[in-house]
A and B are shown apart, each in its own frame.
Chain A
């Protein structure tokens, strides 16, 4: 089936199998490998992207369902190689180790901060509750998101 999407401002058109997951479409067909896959049950959040303004786990959506959508992924956060405030805060607060969960964390935090620019710690924790990190733990990640609001 024909799928046309805009990802980080760029338009892509591809013929895809109807059963292909959006995450596989992004990674395998568009070579946007920043979004990761950590599970096959929708639990880990490593694949989180923003579709038409809504935070989604891209392993829980078919590529064909995204036809016509505007998608934002981690690759679109920095501008001309300059990290945005949230990305910089992740580095400053040691909020990543292996970096595998980081793209998903950043997208969840991005969606959170758009909806709620000054979240409390509780709200931050709720905002990333769909994202698992196995290396860093959550304290530094929460600190980084908090710092990005300041």
Chain B
């Protein structure tokens, strides 16, 4: 093989008393790069099928409106148009996607296309399939939709009033609400020398915006009733459990395949509505259909990151700046459909105290729908909004008490000697030295000279801001947590399978269930496997990408690194039993053995 030959420097303890050089933790060249720098990646839009049709969605120009009529006749008259799909058909052919939340959110009816009503600008109302991308776009313009505009609700606080309700079936804009109460907040208030109150803080909507837009190529096999979806859904395992029941088939009828994905960041986790529409079209038209989202559509109507309003923040503080806890009313705005988002109502709790030692935390959390495009678990998902709150609290406390924000942080950080540290809600922070990290960061940015630079900027009529944020994040997720949200939820999120096998020339072949979007899974996995089998990463071919045929289902990227390694390592003992080394040496002496030229 041509890649990666490195000599391990760091010894790896294999069995007690036995050490050998290890590859984990070493900087080795990425296995992915060679093909990617030659333009030899395989992204979904690179895949073609004979006679495939291109899909274009007709989208709502209104944020909230009743759909009075959809007429596709003119579009169908256009030469080269293969067919259409409307919300009325979707309502007959599918069931609504299941909702994660308990009521009222559980009663929301969410389909692949808008049924009866549009609830955000860009809400897809119909889909057109044609011979070329441009023709599909032309035809989409010929679809006539009659709308009756309705009043809007665009703000989380306003949504709580339920004066305008998005989902009549739910009867309320509230998706889920719950109170989290840890420690003794009243006790902390009684103990406090000061109580700092913050009326309102707002974390804005955002988007991580991967460079590759969303999309898929879908084929339907009439004989087996199976769909193959070459797409960039970054969590097909969850996509499948949404799509299959909606399509009234078993999960086995949906095969998701991906190799390279051009960034995901969470924006590609809730593609099930569009993919379901493509499945219906592939079956209806009996031809492969391809949907590539246009960037303008991505900005308008693909998923964004949650917006969160924090009201009545109350922070009991001692005179020396020790913070005893906080209480807050959080209103999370998930846009028009909650989809994955009820999980955001609880996921922040993985980092309840942020980096701080406060023990008394009360969060009254409500998620609501508004007439904006739906959100999805964008990067840093749910924890980020919460950690932003903790950092704002620290700065405001420091400012109100006339204290140095750096000192307030250091005073309240979990101390190095306290690790492993159990948070008020029972999470374990394994290790850290936050005060030292902050010192290093301040040193690196020349914190001591910032005031001077601020004055200098001022003298030139400019403003120079200084902000500090110290956050931590959970390295992996336990989706068992989802049962806090809904005790009946059968949803673990941990359902990938890795396989490790020995190939004909003695090379080790690994398949992973993960859906990489640039994280270098092939490289890191080869390091883990090499260390366990006592070979080199060169000897390990990691099959890039995901295929539900081999790997069941998948999970999210920010959290995949450690479980991935563990899954691959669990797959190994049986193979090791067969002794990689002896197999390898026998193939080396086999006449006709030659090295394979690549380790894809």
Residues of A within 8 A of B (CB): 17, 19-20, 24, 27-28, 31-41, 44, 46, 73-75, 77-78, 83, 87-88, 90-92, 94, 96-103, 106, 132-136
Contacts and interface: CB of A to CB of B under 8 A. Distances in A.
A75 B39 contact: yes
Interface string B293-328: 011100000000000000000000000000000000
B29 A91 contact: yes
Contact of B209 (A90, A100, A106, A134): A134
A96 B38 CA distance: 12
A75 B43 CA distance: 15
B36 A99 contact: yes
In this complex, which of A20, A90, A135 has the most chain B Cβ atoms within 10 angstroms of its Cβ?
A: A135
Interface string B41-67: 101011010000000000000000000
Given A98-B211, A98-B263, A37 B45 contact: yes
A78 to B, nearest CB: 5
B37 interface: yes
A99 B41 contact: yes
19 contacts: A33-B39, A44-B295, A46-B211, A75-B38, A78-B38, A90-B33, A91-B34, A97-B519, A98-B260, A98-B262, A100-B43, A100-B262, A103-B39, A134-B208, A134-B210, A134-B211, A134-B265, A135-B518, A136-B518
B213 A38 contact: yes
In this complex, which of B43, B261, B519 has the most chain A Cβ atoms within 10 angstroms of its Cβ?
A: B43
Nearest to B520: A97
Contacts, number: 120
Interface string B82-96: 000000000000000
B391 interface: no
Contacts of B157: none
A92 B27 CA distance: 10
A110 to B, nearest CB: 12
A98 B517 contact: yes
B38 A17 contact: no
A100 B262 CA distance: 5
Contacts of B213: 37-38
B37 A91 contact: yes
Given A33-B46, A40-B296, A98-B212, A87 B37 contact: yes
Contacts of A133: 211
Contact of A134 (B38, B45, B263): B263
A100 B210 CA distance: 9
Contacts of A33: 39, 43, 45-46
Contact of B37 (A19, A27, A32, A106): A106
Contacts of A87: 37-38
A97 B518 contact: yes
A19 B134 contact: yes
A36 B43 contact: yes
A83 B38 contact: yes
B211 A132 contact: yes
A36 B212 contact: yes
Main secondary structure of the interface of A (DSSP, over half): loop
A101 to B, nearest CB: 5
A99 B48 contact: no
A110 B346 CA distance: 48
A132 B263 CA distance: 12
Contacts of B208: 134
Contacts of A38: 211-213, 262, 295
A28 B518 CA distance: 24
Nearest first, the 7 A-B pairs at minimum CB distance are A34-B39, A100-B262, A98-B518, A99-B36, A97-B518, A74-B39, A33-B46
A17 B519 CA distance: 39
B566 interface: no
Nearest to B293: A40
B302 to A, nearest CB: 13
Given A41-B295, A97-B519, A134-B209, A34 B262 contact: no
A98 to B, nearest CB: 3
Given A34-B40, A97-B519, 16 more contacts: A17-B134, A20-B134, A24-B133, A37-B292, A44-B211, A46-B211, A77-B37, A96-B33, A97-B518, A97-B520, A98-B518, A100-B41, A100-B212, A134-B263, A135-B210, A135-B517
B200 interface: no
Contact of A100 (B34, B211, B292, B520): B211
Contacts of B294: 40
A77 B39 CA distance: 9
B140 to A, nearest CB: 14
A112 B37 CA distance: 17
Contact of B295 (A40, A90, A101): A40
Interface string B482-522: 00000000000000000000000000000000000111100
B105 to A, nearest CB: 31
A123 B209 CA distance: 27
Contact of A99 (B132, B295, B518): B518
Contacts of A75: 38-40
Interface in B190-229: 208-213
In this complex, which of A35, A100, A134 has the most chain B Cβ atoms within 10 angstroms of its Cβ?
A: A100
B32 interface: yes
A125 to B, nearest CB: 18
B29 A92 contact: yes
Contacts of B38: 34, 74-75, 77-78, 83, 87
A75 B265 CA distance: 28
Given A91-B37, A103-B39, A31 B295 contact: no
B30 A94 contact: yes
A13 to B, nearest CB: 19
B523 to A, nearest CB: 11
A96 B520 CA distance: 10
A27 to B, nearest CB: 8
A34 to B, nearest CB: 2
Nearest to A107: B39
B37 A83 contact: yes
A130 B260 CA distance: 23
